[in-house]
Amino acid sequence: MSEQFILSRDGFSEFRAKGSVFYGRGFILEDHAGIKRYQQKLHEKFSDATHICYAYRLAVNERVDEFTTDAGEPGGSAGRPILSVLRRENLINSIIFVIRYFGGTKLGIPGLIEAYGTAAAKAVEKVPKRLWVPSVVYTLTYRYDQQPLVKSVIREFYGEILHQSFGEFVVAHIRIDYKNEAEFIARIRDKSSGTLQPKKII
């Protein structure tokens, strides 16, 4: 696989064609569950839209999942041009939505392909991108007094805390380079005298 990139932040665009308005939205995608979260968010915000189409590319273990949907537009006229943008930009773990409000004039399939592709491209073209490094995500549950220990190990392996919840215990989702996976697990277990057991999510 050639070098792949991920978005550093959300991307936005607006494109008009013969009265129709196309809003592009580009997001970082951590897992398949994120698709439904973004769908729900956009369907609530654009509840009166004519179509909400999207495509994504997501790394899952050693494969790349790709998916497109035309959401009622003619087959291949919406999702496919959005996916083409993701491929052309070498974007992975990314999803682009294009929301359409019909303006009264049909665009035809070539016009739709151009409009959806343009809205998708404009949504991500000015967003800074960073090199994607294959990674794994672990969940770790620990006591509050173990936070310094956990944070020091995460820093040691240049990991990233994706999410934390605070209840009786701290529950953290931690992303690390897949090459450091075995050593990361061993270090956490060693430093905690075996009391901490990371569990793999992705």
Residue 29's alpha-carbon distances to 1, 10, 100, in angstroms, are 19, 10, 22
If asked whether residues 9 and 70 sit together in one domain, one would say: yes
* Summary mean pLDDT of the chain: 93
Number of domains in the chain: 2
If asked whether residues 42 and 121 sit together in one domain, one would say: yes
First vs last Cα of the chain: how many Å apart?
Answer: 19
> What letter does residue 144 receive in the DSSP assignment?
G
Find, among 117, 119, 27, 118, the residue nearest to 77 by Cα. 117
* Confidence band for 179, pLDDT divided at 50, 70 and 90: confident
If asked whether residues 104 and 142 sit together in one domain, one would say: no
Q: What would the two tokens of residue 4 be?
A: 């792949």
Q: What is the mean pLDDT of residues 99-126?
A: 97
If asked whether residues 117 and 178 sit together in one domain, one would say: no
Q: Tell me the pLDDT tens digit for each residue of 44-95.
A: 999 999 999 999 999 876 789 999 999 999 999 999 999 999 999 999 999 9
Identify the pLDDT of residue 37: 93
Distance CA 105, CA 68 (A): 24
SS3 state of residue 58: strand
If asked whether residues 61 and 146 sit together in one domain, one would say: no
Least confident of 141-145, 158-162, 189-193: 158-162
Contact predicate 46/23, CB 8 Å:
yes
Q: Which domain, by its residues, includes 142?
A: 135-200
Contact predicate 188/140, CB 8 Å:
yes
If asked whether residues 106 and 181 sit together in one domain, one would say: no
Identify the pLDDT of residue 40: 95
If asked whether residues 93 and 184 sit together in one domain, one would say: no
Please say which residue of 81, 109, 131 terminates a domain: 131
If asked whether residues 72 and 103 sit together in one domain, one would say: yes
Residues β-bridged to residue 99: 23, 52
SS3 breakdown of the chain: % helix, strand, coil, rounded to 5? Answer: 35, 35, 30
- pTM for this one? 0.74
If asked whether residues 108 and 146 sit together in one domain, one would say: no
Please say which residue of 131, 164, 182 terminates a domain: 131
Find, among 96, 107, 106, 105, the residue nearest to 13 by Cα. 96
Q: What is the mean pLDDT of residues 115-128?
A: 97
If asked whether residues 151 and 182 sit together in one domain, one would say: yes
Identify the pLDDT of residue 131: 87
